[in-house]
Amino acid sequence: MFFPLQKGLFALGLTLLIAPLAAAQSTLPVTEIRWFNFNPADRWQDLWFTVPDQDTTTVVNRSKLRRYDVHLARMVELSHYLCQRQRQVEGYQWQYEAANGNIDMGTFRISCRLAREITTAYGFAGSERAVVQKTSASFDRPAIKTEVWTVPKLNFAGTKENRWVGFVQKFPPTQISGQNQAMQPMPLTKLLPQLKRKTTVPILLPSEIFKSDLPIDYDLQGDRDRYELSLYLTPGCRAGACYVGSFTAERQGRLTSAPEVTELNSRDTFRKIQLANGIEGIYVNTCGAYCTAAVEWQLQGVVYRVVGKNGYQPYLVKLANAAIRSGAR
């Protein structure tokens, strides 16, 4: 597929960034903690842990712990906190994202048993405030509810830092979506001449798209101040069921603005993100019968968008960055 569909945990949706959040006693900022599609009957609960860090290997202050190590500790702390309150739950699956969701760090399954063993071995030292966006599986309004928890922190005094670093090295994620996703060339030699006859807008396109099991059919629309290159899975089909994604540009276009919280359902997302060449961008995801996601940015008075049906943020960002780095065609 052009934009690979998410499977399992990834199919549940994406996160919402209302504003950068940071726990009161934490030295590390957290973009968001999102508890997805909460259903008390589920044995495994799904949560997103999203941080702003582009590089999670940076050492924290003067400790031996990397930001990655501290983030994993935080997931264990939160899992233990929740396990004490949901006795019927077996554990928690954490989707760990860096760079405000641009980088998929993988899924971590933390059982209540593992969380209990770790907290017993390390003990606690102080506590930390966690702000959690909780969504209901029923998609009732308000679909997103904010909860504030005070969560005990693991004690890494003395030799415990070294022990924790060793544990993390042996605790890899269960999966990283699309880590080895194959790519295929985009037929630019065919498409570019057609686009240039339709528009004067500088054309930004990647050289490759994600590999599809079915032939990709391209549809080109445009005028002097805009263009749209849409991709469909079935030749000749232009219905929503066949639509996969698009690349668009509009001179004097308008970037999507932050929606009101009351207008969002539990899968909707709005984030400010960083793109290639230092360009500020937006990731937005809106859901109805299916979700439509987009990465947007503005360059020299033109608003560009990479759009994907059920699009996953790291995939869209990869295509947007490739288009930006390629320069005007």
| Number of domains into which the chain is organized | 2
Residue at 176 is within a domain: no
Element (H, E) at 199: none
Distances (CA, A) of 223 to 16, 59, 131, 305: 34, 51, 47, 16
One-character DSSP codes across 133-147: EEEETT-PSS-EEEE
Q: What is the pLDDT of residue 197?
A: 95
Residue at 178 is within a domain: no
Expressed as residue numbers, the domain containing 85 is 8-169
- Asked whether 74 and 67 are in contact (CB, 8 A), the reply is no
Strand partners, 232: 217, 243
pTM of structure: 0.82
Residue at 2 is within a domain: no
Question: Do 141 and 225 belong together in one domain?
Answer: no
Separation of alpha carbons 216 and 205, rounded Å:
16
| Residue type at position 203 | I
Enumerate residue ranges in the chain where pLDDT < 50.
Answer: 1, 3-26, 261-262
Q: Residue 179 burial (CB < 10 Å; 0-12/13-18/19+)?
A: exposed
Question: Do 296 and 211 belong together in one domain?
Answer: yes
Question: Do 187 and 164 belong together in one domain?
Answer: no
Question: Do 152 and 16 belong together in one domain?
Answer: yes
Q: In the numeric block, which tokens belong to residue 61?
A: 């202050």
Query: Per this entry, what is the length of the chain?
Result: 329
Q: What is the pLDDT of residue 291?
A: 85
